[in-house]
Amino acid sequence: MKHPITRLFIANRGEIAVRIVAACRKLGIEAVVGVSEADRHTLAAQLADRAICIGPAPAARSYLKLDAIVTAAKGTGCQAVHPGYGFLAENANFEALCVEHGLLFVGPPASAMSAMGDKLRARQTAKTLKVPVVPGTDHVDSPDTVRRFAGEIRYPFLLKASAGGGGRGMRIVRSANEIDGAFTSASAEARSAFHDPTLYMEHYIERARHVEVQVLGDEYGSIVHLGERDCSVQRRHQKLIEESPSPVVDPVLRARMADAALRLARHVRYVNAGTVEFILDLDSMAFYFLEMNTRIQVEHPVTEMVTGIDLVAEQIQIAGGAPLSISQDEVRFDGHAIECRINAEIPERDFMPSPGRIIEWEPPSEAGMRVDTHCYRGYVVPPFYDSMLAKVIVHGRDRSAAISRMAKALDSFKAEGVQSTLPFHRAVLAHPDFEDSRITTQWIEQDFCREVYGAHSP
């Protein structure tokens, strides 16, 4: 490596902190994890070479404290910081602060991050590169402006936060009388979640699949794609199950999407791991650019399973100035992978979070199965953070083998003490619509939950 990394700071928690520790081990790098007071005894803290407290439980006072994290990273002698996903992963100020203090940031340069961080700016960039975007508007500053554009964009449309992420700050508008309410709630949510109430409109594609392309670039201008992931099993615009390859994408479409993703990434001189998200209209099979996530994603393991590439290790080596370990020709795709996100939530009660002590915990461990988790028997799931307990990832020679293996993995997964979405995932995997891939991004809410949870559905 050009800039040797012997010790790396993990500015995150949960399963991704554990995942980053594992990548450090493999690379012979020491791992220091920054923990909040509530996370002192987590698995990442136990597995890392060192854990250092960065503040109290609320994320705003610990995992989101730029200066506390940079001070901790410098104070513990780290040369690099891995931000994981969420928290500060897409915060250009955090990256700038790291760089200012001589820390390598495991992610793209601030310029690429800001070019893609704002969705309106990213849409503009896509347009100049002739990458299709969903018909939409620029910034809309009032319900009256929305009404003025409604005819042109056509109902239904989405009001989306330009700074949005994690499915937040987004509202569907199906008729004129919904405009005022949707505008108020979307901008309020965007203001509180992202400190930026800027909204824009985008036509809502009803029969859609979410398909995204993983890219990986180094600082010498090499950039490759690692195929696509289909993340159409969603609730409230948040992903629940992801797979690779997409069952609805053929080789010609795959090549076109990869080409569009690479053109965008090259244009912003993208370095490190990133994901270009598209929405695919099932009626026309046309795809449109949604956004680029300038970080590692939750669902990266499905790509690792089909390509055999360790994305987190690549990220760290790229940050250290190493060239990509593979060229496009060397990327091989083998079989099919599926991931289920297991959350501590109660589907029957509108997916209400269910924190508490885990009293039984036996994840599946057969060949072709992988579980990324920070949980263990006796772990207390704190109420302060997101509710993901584990990701179950399986690989099979084809989609149907992967589905069978996932069904087996979920069946043998013992988790007790907190309620989890394991039964929900078992039911989805057994559903003929999922098996035949006859689903859209609305399937969970419009069909599955109504059918399975009846009157209690969202």
Binding mask 119-138 for ligand ADP (x = CB under 6 A): ---------------x----
Name every residue whose Cβ is closer than 8 Å to that of residue 166 and which is 6 or more positions away in sequence: 86, 193, 238
User: Does residue 156 touch ligand ADP according to CB under 6 A?
Assistant: no
Residue 198 near which of ligand ADP, Mg ion, none (CB within 5-8 Å, type-dependent)? none
List the one residue from 25, 191, 237, 263 that touches ligand ADP (CB under 6 A): 237
Query: Please, what is the end-to-end C-alpha distance for the chain in angstroms?
Result: 50
**Residue, CB closest to ligand ADP:** 165
User: Does residue 189 touch ligand ADP according to CB under 6 A?
Assistant: no
List the one residue from 20, 78, 103, 205 that touches ligand ADP (CB under 6 A): 205
User: Does residue 301 touch ligand ADP according to CB under 6 A?
Assistant: no
Name every residue whose Cβ is closer than 8 Å to that of residue 233 and which is 6 or more positions away in sequence: 239, 240, 241, 242, 428, 434, 439, 443, 444
User: Does residue 437 touch ligand ADP according to CB under 6 A?
Assistant: no
Tell me the pairing of strands 380-381 and 414-416: unpaired
Active site residue 236: no
Cβ atoms 222, 207 nearer than 8 A: no
The two structure tokens encoding residue 122: 């990213």
**Secondary element (H or E) of residue 208:** strand 208-217
**Secondary element (H or E) of residue 450:** helix 449-453
User: Does residue 202 touch ligand ADP according to CB under 6 A?
Assistant: yes
Beta bridge partners of residue 352, listed in sequence order: 346
**239 vs 405 by CB, closer to ligand ADP:** 239
> Which residues ranging from 235 to 294 are in contact with Mg ion (CB under 5 A)?
277
For 190-210, b/e burial (b = at least 16 CB within 10 A) is beeebeebbbbbbbbbeebbb
> Which residues ranging from 192 to 231 are in contact with Mg ion (CB under 5 A)?
none
**292 vs 403 by CB, closer to Mg ion:** 292
Residue 202 near which of Mg ion, ligand ADP, none (CB within 5-8 Å, type-dependent)? ligand ADP
From the list 123, 209, 229, 295, the catalytic residue is 295
User: Does residue 86 touch ligand ADP according to CB under 6 A?
Assistant: yes
Query: Which region among 147-155, 215-223, 288-296, 305-313 touches ligand ADP (by CB under 6 A)?
Result: 288-296
**206 vs 435 by CB, closer to ligand ADP:** 206
C-alpha to C-alpha distance for 241 and 422, rounded to whole angstroms = 12
User: Does residue 373 touch ligand ADP according to CB under 6 A?
Assistant: no
Name every residue whose Cβ is closer than 8 Å to that of residue 82 and which is 6 or more positions away in sequence: 8, 9, 10, 11, 12, 20, 106, 312, 315, 316
Binding site for Mg ion (CB under 5 A): 277
Binding site for ligand ADP (CB under 6 A): 85-86, 90, 134, 158, 164-167, 194, 202-205, 208, 210, 234, 237-239, 277, 279, 290-291, 293, 297-299, 386, 441
